[in-house]
Amino acid sequence: MSIPHPPEGLKSDARRSTEPDAATPAAAGPAKMRKVALASFLGTVIEFYDFGIYATAAALVFAHAFFPALGEQAGNVVSYATLGVAFVARPLGSILFGHIGDRLGRKRTLIATMSLMGASTVLIGLLPTSASIGVVAPILLVVLRLAQGLAAGGEWAGAALFTSEHAPKERRGFWAMFTNLGGAFANILSLGTFLLTGLYMSDENFEAWGWRVPFLISIVLVFIGLYVRLRIEETPAFTAEAQRGSANAGLPFKEAFTHQWKEILLGAGSLVMAFSLGYIGIAFLTNYGTATLDLPRTQVLTAGMFGNFVNCLAIIAGGVLSDRFGRRRILLTANSVGIVWALLLFPLLDTGSLGAFWLGQGVTFLIAGTGFGVAGSFLSELFHTRYRYTASGLAYSFAAVLGGAIPPLVAASMIGTYGGFVFGILLAGYCLVGLLCTIALRETRGRDLVEAPLPEEAAV
């Protein structure tokens, strides 16, 4: 087994990371960490509430509102395709906002991503339907969804690094999970908003205008989020990097792929399971439960909220357990269990039982949430400070494209043609990819993020 030398410009960082450094900023204390975690949590809640209500609306009403000429089945497929557009835009957002975050700082970038997400979401809520302006309506919908994708691509890495780079390394898994915890809570909030909206109006009014309410009220949440983010301080890791002058070095995107392209791809692969199961739960099963299984919409939305409550608990558990047992071990376990569950999920759902639907949602989110709970600390620890925002954002966005966009898009046609079990085989394949990619990566727990070296690459 041979271990190649790190690139010349980073050798000194690799040496220093194993030795005490008097200039290294100390990790934040418990009081400050609570403030940092709250800021990250609230910011991600608001960002991904905006992102998540689109997924719910795409499942429930967008086929009728924006693609009525295509018919119900084709309209649903195209509606899910617009959901996937944002995932395609996420890597571009990671590059754009990653560059800003690696050069100008995490704080400024997080304010920019929230502003873009908020504006896009409110405009979707105001967008006329195809009945009013014809083909222009779906075109504008796609443009606004692209803007949401750009914002989401820059948001996650910034929020994750904000907690990771402040946290003491022995509890980094716990603190870093608050970023994804905010995303899971946002799913509960978005589903709950649609549930309450639907409970207090007829189906006709909901499809005519009620679906707009969750989009429009997001403006209040955005103002709260901006207030919180304007009051937080820059991370010690970025501050130290900027003081050394390396924050003004080469392009972060170029450096990331020059030095750690394998880690970007493997890091993405290790998380495709979480995205594939998570977005099947939040996006596709909402439509599957109402349109295919003929379950009441209120029950389907309530089951989705229950699933995301389980998701929250699993994210917390994944972060805590990763501090004790390591990031790789938790991801290996989640991916292994996911392979088995993917094959059981749709035979269970197709019994048509409401209880089976609740169980399906709960277990699906339990497995996905465990993976998401490790993501923040794991990806933060994989990459060098100089391009960490860009690299971790790209890895996460690639996982989102492969795992979050493709399965919901192909699910309806694949299940309609071949049945749910065959689609389950596809989901199991995602989990297998996650397992193999995690095996190929090394353990990262305990790494110093202030002057992180390039990861050691071993050829077996």
> Where do we find the tokens 């004790």?
324
Cα dihedral 203, 205, 208, 212 sign? negative
Going from the C-alpha of 434 to that of each of 92, 275, 333, 452, the distances in angstroms are 23, 10, 11, 25
Determine contact, residues 155/182, Cβ cutoff 8 Å: no
> Where do we find the tokens 């994944």?
318
29-228+251-440 belongs to CATH 2.60.120.20? no
pLDDT band at 392 (very low <50, low <70, confident <90, very high): very high
Contacts of residue 121, Cβ cutoff 8 Å, sequence gap at least 6 = 50, 53, 54, 148, 215, 218, 222
pLDDT band at 71 (very low <50, low <70, confident <90, very high): low
Cα dihedral 325, 326, 327, 329 sign? negative
Ramachandran class of 105: left when φ > 0, alpha when ψ lies in -120 to 50, beta otherwise: left
Determine contact, residues 320/377, Cβ cutoff 8 Å: no
Cα dihedral 424, 429, 430, 434 sign? positive
Report d(CA 114, CA 159) in Å as an integer.
Answer: 11
Higher pLDDT, 177 or 207: 177
What pLDDT score does 23 carry?
A: 46
Euclidean distance between the first and final Cα of the chain, in Å?
Answer: 5
What pLDDT score does 73 carry?
A: 66
What pLDDT score does 235 carry?
A: 78
What pLDDT score does 28 carry?
A: 65
- The pTM score is 0.82
Determine contact, residues 157/392, Cβ cutoff 8 Å: yes
Instruction: Express each pLDDT in 93-116 by its tens digit.
Output: 999 999 998 888 888 898 898 889
3-state secondary structure of 18: coil
Report d(CA 386, CA 260) in Å as an integer.
Answer: 12
3-state secondary structure of 2: strand
* Low-confidence winner among 101-105, 368-372, 403-407, 455-459 (lowest mean pLDDT): 455-459
Instruction: Express each pLDDT in 135-164 by its tens digit.
Output: 888 889 889 989 988 998 888 888 899 899
HSE on the CB side for 46, CA within 13 Å?
A: 31
Flag whether pLDDT at 2 surpasses 50. Answer: no
Instruction: Express each pLDDT in 219-260 by its tens digit.
Output: 888 888 888 778 777 877 888 877 776 555 678 889 999 999
* Low-confidence winner among 208-212, 279-283, 455-459 (lowest mean pLDDT): 455-459
Mean residue pLDDT of the chain comes to 84
User: Side chain identity at 213, as an amino acid letter?
Assistant: V
Helix crossing, 72-104 with 388-399: angle to 10°? 170
Flag whether pLDDT at 4 surpasses 70. Answer: no
pLDDT band at 55 (very low <50, low <70, confident <90, very high): confident
What pLDDT score does 459 carry?
A: 37
Instruction: Express each pLDDT in 332-362 by its tens digit.
Output: 999 999 999 999 999 999 999 999 999 999 9
Q: Which of 341, 351, 362, 350 is nearest to 420 (CA)?
A: 350
> Where do we find the tokens 């608990």?
313
What pLDDT score does 260 carry?
A: 93
